[in-house]
Amino acid sequence: MAAQNPVTEKEEEASEIEMIAEDLLQVAKPSESHNNKEQDIKVESKKDDDKKPSSAPQPPGGVSSKPAAKPDEKSAAGNEDDSEPMRRPVAPLPAKPVAARPAERKDDDQEEKKPSLRPSIAAGAAAGAAAAAARPSIPSREGPQSQPPTKTEDEPDQPKAAPAPAASTPTPPRTSPPAPPKTPEPARPAASTTAPRPAPKPTPPAKPAQPAGSQNGKSDGGIDWDLADSSSILNPSVDKNLSDDELRRRAAVIEQTLSSFGAPGRVVEVNHGPVITQFGVEPDYIEGRGGKRMRVKVGKIASLADDVALALAAPTIRIEAPVPGKGFVGIEVPNPEASVVGLRDVFDTEAFAKMNSPLKLALGKDVAGQPIVTDLTSMPHLLIAGTTGSGKSVCVNGIICTLLLSHTPDTLRFIMIDPKRVELTNYNGIPHLMAPVVTELERIVGVLKWVQREMDNRYRSFAMAGARNINDYNRRVDQGKIEDGERLPYIVVVVDELADLMMLAPDETERVLTRLAQMARATGIHIIISTQRPSVDVVTGLIKANFPARIAFAVATSVDSRVILDMPGADKLLGRGDMLFQAPDAPLPIRMQGVYLSDREIQAIVDHWKDQAKEKGFTSDIGRLEEPGSRGARRGGTEQSRPSLMQPTQAAFLRSSSDDDDETDDLYEEAVALVRDMKKASTSLLQRHLRIGYTRAARMIDLMEERGVIGPHEGGSKPRVVLDADGNPISEDDE
């Protein structure tokens, strides 16, 4: 093909624009049915080209976007393009990168269609068709449906399907100086049909394995304990509910009675419990002086307790004025038939399962029938008082069985003291006991002193390990921070009758209990004391001050109620498990019905642990509790608190000579050694040095006289004669 005459770029561009406009007009006339939107796009392309700078002419024979136009070829190309839009829809082509106007991509795409609107030489058209056929097709931004269909070889507008120039696509070289570089628009990534995956959540840390000796039954000593199944041992109870008509009748009687005595009120809430029903009465308004309306005083409603009880034909009622956290006065009326609250009704509840505490207790249900669960470690000691038959011993058994159902011998140990010999002796033989149930009054003080020494030993261990309490110490043992360390179990000391101890040795008992109550919490030692005589000489002010958690059952007088709770109310209780629980963090006590366990249920729990101890070959550490520093109670319930004053051979001789007497005092051998060392014997001497009471010291003096350790009393102020092992008198001058 002959080369065109050189002309300036502006003149060539202007001539080309005029020819394109003529082509557009010719195309628009026969294709009136075509989409108006596409015609607008082609016309706008002409206007935009007037503003664009002209490009350099392409070399002959190349695939130029702006070749020289000839009239005959232009008309031929125009005719072909006239039929093109009628055969297929115009697909949007990839946008030509333009830095100045990124939003006008349709106009740039139209510029790519210029080769199909003006004629080209035959060689250029053939070369363009060949290049377009060899070039891979690039899908449009609009998706797969916008790709143009395949064209035939004789279509002159084949370059229209060519993709926009990219960095990786080679472009033909230009003969004229290149135009100013254009900053290409960065290619946008194709929209993904798949939603982006969310960032993976961090995997929560695995829960640490429970250490051996915890509540899962694993034992440090290699014994895998199995906890008792509460559902198979404990029996469910049957509720006895009042009808709605009866509740409405009682509410109407209460309102009528209060109104008749000049204290009107409205029943706004009714809480039906297992034993009592609480009617919440909101005080009403009355006419005051000067015609002013004033509310009824709460104290006036409380003073009408006997009148309301008479109207309801109830044995007794209790008025709580006001109910803590409520806007009404609570009138508690006994139900005609009381419901029994079994231990299973509280032990298998969600409230008990959710409480995160090592020593959680199932106490009973409140006036609304809700289970009451508390934590012994937060108390940290518990005082229980009530008259005979009020449910005090049943409550103690319920607390013990709750702990036995939740703990193995590796996490909890018991020391039980039962002077009555009938309440706690059935627990003998369970592996949780550190010693058999103590029933002799002479040994009780010694047992409490051993607990005191155990507390001191644990504090020394905590100090050496750098631990603050038993939980911190056991955690350090599990982490291996304490060499040769063993986990310490909780110790619960249960004393069934405090009055007998206070009669035997009041000062010593009060001193030991007070010190334990003040300091034993951090070491994991907790005390539960019960008494049936809540008088000031039994529950002293010093003991009561160190036992903030208290349970009061029915008592005879309001004075006894004040001794326990520092307020009246326990004298209005019904008995048989009806109690007031004073929590350490509660301003007022809570009334509830305590749990009940039958003898069969208690025995089933005890047999479960006894049989398991036999099957697993469990050996109690009771036999080695006499060793210094051991964590347990020795055979007599005490451990040597003073250095031994007797040689082992002498102790063996006395032990063999007194084997026939089972009632020998545990301190007898030490008392004999003391008398022979001091070369004199008297009751006051034994009291001072052995720190025992007068009755116990006098009995040992009488026993020494019977066995020939000392001579008989000669009357007056003359001292007794002390004899040696051979029966010879020992004078004070002998070495």
For 347, list phi and psi in degrees, rounded to 5.
Answer: -70, -35
Q: Which amino acid is at 209?
A: A
Tens-digit pLDDT profile for residues 290-335: 778 899 999 999 999 999 999 999 998 999 988 988 889 999 999 9
Mean pLDDT of 457-481: 93
Preceding amide of 6 cis, omega within 30: no
Give the pLDDT of residue 718: 77
Q: Which two tokens stand for residue 660?
A: 């026939």
Residue pair 570/561 in contact by the 8 Å Cβ criterion? yes
**For domain 340-615, which CATH number applies: 3.40.50.2300, 3.40.50.920, 3.40.50.300, 3.30.1330.10?**
3.40.50.300
* pLDDT tops 50 at residue 560: yes
The whole-angstrom separation of Cα 702 and Cα 720 is 12
Mean pLDDT of 206-228: 54
Rg from Cα positions in the chain: 51
What is residue 276's DSSP assignment? Answer: E
Give the pLDDT of residue 310: 95
The whole-angstrom separation of Cα 587 and Cα 264 is 28
Q: Topology of domain 244-334, per CATH?
A: Threonyl-tRNA Synthetase; Chain A, domain 2 (3.30.980)
For 631, list phi and psi in degrees, rounded to 5.
Answer: -95, 80
484 pLDDT tier (thresholds 50, 70, 90): confident
For 194, list phi and psi in degrees, rounded to 5.
Answer: -95, 130
3-state secondary structure of 438: strand
Tens-digit pLDDT profile for residues 583-592: 998 889 999 9
* pLDDT tops 50 at residue 245: yes
Residue pair 396/423 in contact by the 8 Å Cβ criterion? yes
Q: Does 340-615 match 642-730 in CATH topology? A: no
Give the pLDDT of residue 201: 44
Tens-digit pLDDT profile for residues 246-290: 999 999 999 999 999 999 999 999 999 999 999 999 999 988 777
Domain boundaries of the chain, sorted by first residue:
9-161, 244-334, 340-615, 642-730
Tens-digit pLDDT profile for residues 229-241: 998 999 888 778 8
Q: Which two tokens stand for residue 488?
A: 């310490």
Give the neighbor-by-neighbor strand order of the sheet with 525-531: 371-375, 360-366, 590-594, 578-582, 549-552, 382-385, 525-531, 490-495, 412-417
* pLDDT tops 60 at residue 617: yes
**For domain 642-730, which CATH number applies: 1.10.3720.10, 1.10.10.10, 3.20.20.370, 3.40.50.720?**
1.10.10.10
* pLDDT tops 50 at residue 163: no
Q: How high does pLDDT run on average in the chain?
A: 74
664 pLDDT tier (thresholds 50, 70, 90): low
* pLDDT tops 90 at residue 166: no
The whole-angstrom separation of Cα 445 and Cα 501 is 8
